[in-house]
Structure 1
Amino acid sequence: MINSKPEAGSLLPKISVDKLDGGTLEIGGTKDRYTLFVVYRGKHCGRCKRYLNGLQTRAADWEAAGFDVVVVSADTKNKAEQDVAEFGWNFDIGYGLTEEQMQKLGVYISDPLSPDETDRRFSEPAVFCVRPDGVIQIVCLSNGPAARPDLDELLDGMKFNIEHKRPARGTV
């Protein structure tokens, strides 16, 4: 199945996933703040762990710039808990992203290469910067683990966009 890819300047689709520390994460829709929304491959991905460890060191900078940081994967609660216990991530983490939700978000989806990798289809990496009105300011979709935006560069660019009230780009 071919996913419809999200367009910059459009509304981020609304989804709801279970939140690791209880309750649910409501993604999409209007918020009081900007959102940095990161979709990661899951526990099996060493590159995801490095990326999220980097995000952990910068999370306070993102929050100070007016962002809520939200991270989700298709992992089970148990796998997400293991990663948090090992790495100490303290941003909001959602788990159990369904294939239907992945399609709604327009992310690339992969089958595991073996049972050793994981036991279910999973999302390839995606990063969304979403304005408080729910509009996607920046979208970065990858079909593999090695291509992701630099978090420092992304934050610097978003600060500039906010300060200068820049519209979403790439909408032509």
Structure 2
Amino acid sequence: MMIKPRTKTPDLSINLVNDTQWTLTDQHPENFILLVVYRGKHCPICKKYLQTIQKHLSEFIEKGVNVIAISSDSEKLAKATYDEWDVADLPIGYNFPIADAREWGLYISKGIKEEPKEFIEPALFIIRPDQTLYASSIQTMPFARPEIEALLKSIDFILEEEYPARGEA
């Protein structure tokens, strides 16, 4: 299933590594929610990507954007990710069910080598406070993700120009 821009996203409740729960419907950002789906602790490219988000997290907050990163990793793996990666301020969610990931239109891979048996490929969703999709980037592998610095500039443009969500036709 593909979620079209300007339509409501599925709801999402997920446990966080700080032993709390995050629910999409409880989010009330000034402008957007940035939902980042990463492959899991096994992915060195995800580590770099999440660390870049951590580096720019205050800029997202200044722009009225709530950020969360989630994966299908177990609680143990997600907590190890939080402890071992430089992502101290980034909310990290775990146990995102594969079935729910499919509802979001995400790609699922079968593990090779040291990877989990199955895991979710990366995605990024920009969601309005009313839980409608503004934009998404859905990947089939860890490469070719939106650059964080470019994403921040895009958010500035969107807000300054009141640029509408596109791709809904």
- Alignment root-mean-square deviation, CA: 1.3
| Identity across the alignment (%) | 30
Structure 1 residue ranges (4+ consecutive) displaced by more than 6 angstroms after TM superposition: none
Contact 2:53 2:148 in 1 (8 A): yes
* Unpaired stretches in structure 2, ≥5 consecutive residues: none
Secondary structure, in 3 states, of the residue corresponding to 2:5? coil
Structure 1 match to 2:85 = 87
* Unpaired stretches in structure 1, ≥5 consecutive residues: none
Contact 1:131 1:137 in 2 (8 A): yes
Q: How does 1:90-169 map to 2 (within 5 A)?
A: 90-114=89-113, 116-118=114-116, 120-169=117-166
Deviations 1:14-66 (A, max 9, x none): 12111110121113x47321211100000010110010111110111001110
Q: For the residues of structure 2 that align with 1:95 and 1:23, how far apart are their CA atoms? A: 11
Is residue 31 from structure 1 mapped to residue 27 from structure 2 by the alignment? yes
Q: For the residues of structure 1 that align with 2:130 and 2:67, how far apart are their CA atoms? A: 16
TM-score if structure 2 supplies the norm length?
0.93
- Number of equivalences: 166
Q: For the residues of structure 1 that align with 2:148 and 2:133, how far apart are their CA atoms? A: 17
Deviations 1:62-113 (A, max 9, x none): 0111011111000011111111111231211100011111111111111111
Aligned equivalent of 2:61, options 59, 63, 66: 63
Q: How far does residue 163 in structure 1 lie from its aligned partner after superposition?
A: 2.4
